[in-house]
Structures are given as structure tokens and as C-alpha cells.
Structure 1
Amino acid sequence: MTVSLPEAFIRNIRRDIPGDADALFSVLDGTPPVSVRWNPYKTQSPAEGIPVAWCRYGRYLPERPSFTTDPLFHAGAYYVQEASSMFVEHLLRSTTEPEGARILDLCAAPGGKATLYSTLAGGDGIVIANEVIRSRALILADNIRKWGIGNTMVTNNDPAHFAGLGEWFDAVAVDAPCSGEGMFRKSPEARGEWSEANVRLCAARQRRIVSDAWAALRPGGVLIYSTCTFNRTEDEENVRWIAEELGGEDAGAMVPPDWGIEEREAGGVRCFRLWPHRIAGEGFFAAAIRKGGQRGRPLRPKPRKTLLAEASRSETAELSRWVGQPDLMRFARIGDSLYGYYATPFADIRSAAEYLNTLHSGICMGQMFGGRLKPDHSLAMFHDLARSAAAETPLSSDEALHYLRREDFAPQAEAAEGMNLMTFEGYALGWAKRIGNRFNNLYPKSQMILNK
């Protein structure tokens, strides 16, 4: 069923881009392009397809395959992400040094940009991916585990809570909840829910979120403000407000003319519009805004609770054999479970995790029984899992789908007694335990394929 474009939206677009309005309306009734972003931590071979100009890991696909039934998708080899939203990589790379940075993704679910920031930050950096709605935060955590880099925390906090961290972050990304005009091609529901009153409501909410984010950004740090909408109220007018009320400055991002991205200005800050009739992607707006002032010594937040306890020497010895580079890791206990963290940002992660409402951090290694580790699914997804730690059982495509549906299965390949890592084309999918002639499928229920 086709839902017509709202009349007020049509009027606003004709006023804003009178020469291009009809071209935009025509594209919004067409078929959106398909794009993915491959995971360089898990594969050295880029995904097939046409490169996305502003994202080194992005690729356009000629058609939409069945991602749900592709085992490589479930292995975290790539993420299905809309190409326009990948533009934040260019903004971050061109205005700051993301590797080793503290990055806050304040409105992170379901995880497209958060996994991209995780890739850019690397093992010396930390990404805090926050989602205020708990059900969405749990989905975000699943996607972060699947991506498997191990440098990301998932939190479930109101944006106002981050002000308590002080000016702690090198970069803060606010992909603000918006009226969704840029999604009119993909989502008929977005057309039906749109109203001018909702535009005003979204704009006011975005300013509140940005105010909280600004308090957590260090002087000299960069705010990446973005929406998936076209109207000036949520876009340029909010950037102007950030410049005038918060003192934001242009961060210096620029784009080549051949990318087809429109550059505008608001309050002295460059703003970038990705129009779906000009580029291969959905509607997207973004600006990179620098916080002025002198950079002081970052403060470590005072913990509200004690959460992480150092792993014992014997636990560390057992955990070390499960990772490829144990010298780069630190291990800690949270309740009955043991976790692995990169050593460089460990103190920062510990401070933040004990201050915020943390749902996931680092790599959940598993639980210890009789001095031996029972590995967690998160460890199977970790890019630096030591493949010598457990037996591997390669699966065919059909076997992999049975496994991912949590069905009973009997691999044709010979499997060792006990814990086995299920793999497909060399990519880890998760654990199964062989007990005699029976396999206990340990794939997580929250991530299982439901369709047949």
C-alpha cells in the first residue's frame, strides 16, 4: 500500500529546493539502494560491490540478498548499513584522530554507527554506545557482541547522566531521534507518522540531548550531529543554536565535489546534506562541530558502585589461552562471569562501567568450572579468539542454518568430544557441545534465526 507524501512536507521541500523538489519526490517512490560495511577485524577481503566513497569499508550491492539466511552476516563479517549514514566515518576521520579515542555514541541502537566507531577506535580506544530504551539497548548489545572488536560498552542511561562524567570524551556522536523524512522511501510508516508538530517536538528534544552531550565533550573535541531528516528546523537551525548558545565552532570537515553532497552553512559551521536524488543513499544530514576552550586534564568519574574485580592469577592463566594476544589484555570478574578488556583503555572502561548503567562491556569470556573456562558466545565472536583453545567443526551452509536456528543437527565433519567452535567458511558462529552422539546447540536464543 502506497502512502502519499504529506502535503506540508511537499510545501516545505518546494520552498527549500524548488529546482530539485520533483526529482526528490520521484526518488522517494523508488527502490532504495543496498549497502553493507565489512568488518576489517574479521576479514582482510572487502565485500564485493561498488565502494561507498566516504567509507573505506562500505560497499553497494547490486541487489538485496537474504541477509537473514547468510551465515557470514551472523558471524559479524559485515553489517547491513545504509550508505548515507556511513558518512560519519569521513566526518570523524577528517576532524579528529579516532584511533585510541574515547567516543560516545549517545543514541546508538541498533548499532550501525556504533560498530563503525568501534572499528575506527581500535584496541587502544573506547566506545560507549548508549540507548535510553532498554529493549533497543539489548538489541544493540547483541550487535556489538557480533561485531567482536571488544572495545565497546553498551549502556542504558538517560543522556543527562553523561554530564556527570565531566568533559571526558574526545568525540560525541548524536544521531538524534528525528521526524524521519529521510526514511520516507524505506518506510511508509514514517510518512503516516509525520507532522509539523512532530518536527517541532523532535527539534526541542534534540537540543536537550545535545546540551547533555556537550557537557561530556572535552574542549577541542568534536560533536558529530546528524539526523535522517530534511527540514531546516531539525538540521541547520539546531546547528546554528549549537554555535550560538553552546559556543560550537566549525571542525573543518570538507567533502570533494564529485561525491554529490550538498554543503551549507549555519552559525559559521559547515553542514552536509545527502539527498537521495543526488547520491546513492537515503536522506541524511550531518555536521562536525568543535568545542572551543583549553583542553584540561580529563577527570576519572567517581564510581557509584564497585563492579569489576581483578581476575586471580589462575583465572588469568586459563583465560589467556583463549585469546590470541593475551599480553594486550586485562581480565576481570563481574559476578560469576569473567571478562576480557584491552589493557590500554582498561582503567577508563572500569571507571565508566562503574559509573553508568552498563549492560555489556569488553568480551564476556564465560564462567569458570573446576578451573576450566566454559566459554560465552561473546568469546566466540571475538576477532582475537585463539583458535587453538577449542576444537573447530566446519559446517556446510545447510548445517550452519540449522545451527543458527538452534535446531538439532549432526555435522558431517568429525567433531571432538566436549566444546566445539562451529565455523562456516572459516568464520566463527558460536559454540556447541558434543556429548557422545548428541550435540548441545549453545547458540544464543536472542540471536537465533526465527524464519524457516
Structure 2
Amino acid sequence: MSETAFPAAFVERTASLLGASETERLLDALNGESPVSIRFNPYKIAEKPEGEQVPWCRYGYYLDRRPSFTLDPAFHAGAYYVQEAGSMFLETIFRQVFPDDGPLRVLDLCAAPGGKTTLLSTIAGAEGLVVANEPIRNRASVLAENVRKWGIGNVAVTCDDPSHFAAFGHGFDLIVVDAPCSGEGMFRKDRAARDQWSLRNTELCAARQRRILGDVWPALRPGGVLVYSTCTFNTAENEDNVRWLAGEYDCEDGGVEVDPAWGIVRGEAAGIGTFRFYPHRTRSEGFFAAAVRKGDGRRKTNVPKPKKTVFSDLSKKDVAAVSSWTAQPEYMRFAAVNDTVYGYYGRAFEAVRQLSGTLTVIGSGVRMGQLFGGRLKPDHALALFHDLVRDRTPRVDLDLPAALDYLRKKDIDATPFDEGINLVCHEGLPLGWIKRIGHRTNNLYPKESRILQL
């Protein structure tokens, strides 16, 4: 393919970085087909998918072709997430910088649509808490839906400017800044990005990225790690920003190593290890990452005084009614926000309470449902929670055509269902609720999540 398919200034700058021959190989790769990769949810499925494993992520797999994910009930059940393979490298970083299992507080600062958040949710486990932030409201709603679908229950979704997290001084063990960037690494996946690229835009992106890093640095605890990543190639948005961070703050290399066979280009900036994914070297889109450990200066963790009280306690009777829906209620706490009950793993509850008093939290924990006369009307999120007691209500496993009709929110034949609330499944995976009323059913699948494709 001719280089003229790309902005001339991009080609010239990339050639100064890689050399003419390797740039030609990169451009050829960017004009090729993107690999298809998914990451399965070990909390929901025991068997690994068929296909070649992504070498830097135990849950990631390449597919031979791109199926219609929209028409796969397992996708809607949160059994897997469609994610670009390079960004799954976050798992390798996490496992190496935090080798010992333990409760961690993680902030995914620029989180939508949720690929890294759901990965962090998986590896943080029930003992950890992931705060997933997206400042743009409509993107935050998409993030919240993907978190709900993933169904682990250890995530709080916020919609705030990155600067608001500085108030939680030293409050997080890991901060992930997958910064908004010029998107050069996505030129293959998104051809329109080539037309939108400009040198001026890369400069604006680099300045915005530095502002974000400076805003959030105070929220990282001493000894904690900040992962900075982009999906672009130029040094201004990558190594130069790592050098800026190292020059402004007391930090050191995170200590991450990679297998040379993976094809990742290992470099350094101001003594901080950097990792570059090039589509002609790795089976991924373009990606850059660096893990920066904060210096060990000591200061008491700061918790801002809450501006509002969000949670209210439940009576013992109501707690008993709600806890019967979860398989391990002894590890959970339940509280109400207005007329809706939420469930949280015990260690995370107080942290979510603190966040909710200051930040704009649009979703957290497990939205259990509403109580009427001591009985729970279950929320859709509860059906997708991995620790749901599945025989708490009658359960019906639908075949593929009926499952797709359910996901399209169509009318469903009442014959297989018992009177009242039923759990709808497909091949054992919960999809949501349906209510039988006499000879008809009320499809309770959320209208905003329904499949529109025929």
C-alpha cells in the first residue's frame, strides 16, 4: 500500500522514530485486517474459549474470525468482553507490580467503554475495589452498563473531572490513566482517524495528558503504581510525558518485565520502563504503556469531608430478605440509596460510602432491587451478578431464537414459566428476568439494552 493513504506529517515523524524500512512495514500492517480478540469472564464461565491465547493475558484469546457479537447471548450475559489485545497487557503489569493477593483500591481514570475496568475488576477480585471514572456522561452510562453486564460487583462508576480525585490524597494503590490521545495506533481499526489526525492535535493531546497526570498524581499512595497508556505512536504523547512525570514528581520504574518472544518493544524514558506494541510486531493494534511507582514519602491518607449522605441502613428483616439472593451474604453489606437496595463486598463498602459523599457516583456494587412489603423486586443487575443464587426463583433456559427474542424485548410465550418472577438463561448463563402473569409474560429486559439488530 502507498504511504499516501496516511497523513504525510505522520509518515515523516514515524520514519524519524522507526526508520524508513520499519515504517513501511508498520504502514503495511495498518492497511491490513485487525485481529479479533476477546477476554473471557472467569467468574461466569469455567471453560476457556477455543483459539490462541493472548500471551500477556491469561483470559485473552484471539478468534479466527469476527462473529456477530450482538447476536450472541453469552456476550449480553457478560461471559466475555471484546477487547483489543494490546490493552490486555494491563494484566501483566498488575500481576508483576502487585504479586501478592490482597485488597487493593484501583482507579481507572479514563475508563469508558470499560475494557480495562472489567479486566481490573476480574483481577482485583472480591476483596478489591475498582473506581471507574468517565467525565463524559453518555460515555459513563455505557461504562456503567458494561460493568453491570460483567457482574463481579466490585466496581463504582463515577462521572467526574480527573482533578476531583486529588482530594483523596494517597487513596489508591493503583491508578490507570489510559489517556485520550491522537489515536495513531487505531489507524487500522478506525480509518476515519487518519483524516482527523494533525500535528496540532497531537500537541493538544500531549498537553491535556500532562494536565490529567498532574491532577491525579496526589491520589496515588506512596509506593503505589500509576500505569500511563495511550493508543498512539508519537513520542510527544508517550515517552515525553513519562519524562515530564519523572521530572515533576518523585517516582521510579515499576519493575515490569516482558518475554522477548511477545514482540513488545521494551524501552525507557527517564529510567522508567516503556512498552510499545506495533501492529507489524505484535498481534494487536498500536499501544504504549509505562508503569511508574510513586516515591515512598509518607503522608496520612486524606478522605474529604462528605458533602452529602447517600446511603441509609436497612433493618435486620430487610437485610435478611435481600441477602437470601446472594450465595455468600456473609461477605457482603447492604444499604439503600433512596428506594433502591445495593449490595457491596464488605471491605469495599466504607470506601464507596466515602466516594459517594463527594463524587458523582452513577453506579456501584450490585444494584439489588427494591423492597415491597419485605420482598425484593430484583433488578436486572442482580440477574447478571456472578454470585446470584440462581434457584432463588424458577429458572428457564431458552434456546437461541427465544433468547434473542428476549434480548430484543419481544413478547415471550408464557408456557415454560412459572407464575411470578423467573430467571431467564441461555446455556446456563443468566440474561435477566421475566414475569409471568396468567397466560402472558412481562419481559423485564431493560429497554435501553435491547438488541435492535434483526
Assess same fold via TM > 0.5.
yes
Quote the residue 1:213 is aligned against: 216
- Structure 1: state its 5+ residue gaps: none
Q: Does 1:225 align with 2:228?
A: yes
Work out the CA distance in 1 between the residues paired with 2:313 and 2:17.
Answer: 58
Contact 1:261 1:279 in 2 (8 A): yes
Deviation per residue, 1:287-325 (Å, 9 max, x gap): 000010234443333211100112111110100110001
Quote the residue 1:45 is aligned against: 47
Quote the residue 2:346 is aligned against: 343
Quote the residue 2:280 is aligned against: 277
Pairing of 1:51-90 with structure 2 (within 5 A): 51-90=53-92
- The TM-score with structure 1 as length reference comes to 0.98
Quote the residue 2:423 is aligned against: 421
Contact 1:406 1:445 in 2 (8 A): yes
Quote the residue 1:391 is aligned against: 394
Quote the residue 1:266 is aligned against: 269
Paired residue secondary structure (1:51) = coil
Q: Does 1:17 align with 2:21?
A: no
Matched residue type, 1:102: R
Matched residue type, 2:384: M
Contact 1:153 1:360 in 2 (8 A): yes
Q: Does 1:112 align with 2:115?
A: yes
- The TM-score with structure 2 as length reference comes to 0.97
Pairing partner for 1:34 from 26, 33, 36: 36
Paired residue secondary structure (2:146) = helix
Quote the residue 2:355 is aligned against: 352
Pairing of 1:43-442 with structure 2 (within 5 A): 43-97=45-99, 99-410=102-413, 414-442=416-444
Superposed CA RMSD = 1.2
Matched residue type, 1:437: H
Work out the CA distance in 1 between the residues paired with 2:414 and 2:288.
Answer: 48
Paired residue secondary structure (1:355) = coil
Question: Greater shift after overlay, 356-365 or 90-99?
Answer: 90-99
Contact 2:343 2:366 in 1 (8 A): yes
Work out the CA distance in 1 between the residues paired with 2:329 and 2:423.
Answer: 20
Matched residue type, 2:178: D
Matched residue type, 2:40: W
Work out the CA distance in 1 between the residues paired with 2:326 and 2:10.
Answer: 53
Deviation per residue, 1:333-375 (Å, 9 max, x gap): 0001000000122111111122210000100100011111000
Work out the CA distance in 2 between the residues paired with 1:248 and 1:200.
Answer: 24
What is the Cα deviation at residue 218 of structure 1?
Answer: 0.5
Paired residue secondary structure (2:32) = coil
Matched residue type, 2:18: I
Aligned residues: 450
Work out the CA distance in 2 between the residues paired with 1:150 and 1:384.
Answer: 9
Work out the CA distance in 2 between the residues paired with 1:132 and 1:299.
Answer: 22
Contact 2:167 2:303 in 1 (8 A): no
Which of structure 1's runs of 4+ aligned residues deviate more than 6 A? none
Work out the CA distance in 1 between the residues paired with 2:421 and 2:340.
Answer: 18
Contact 1:99 1:120 in 2 (8 A): no
Work out the CA distance in 1 between the residues paired with 2:245 and 2:434.
Answer: 51
Work out the CA distance in 2 between the residues paired with 1:353 and 1:397.
Answer: 40
Work out the CA distance in 1 between the residues paired with 2:52 and 2:170.
Answer: 40
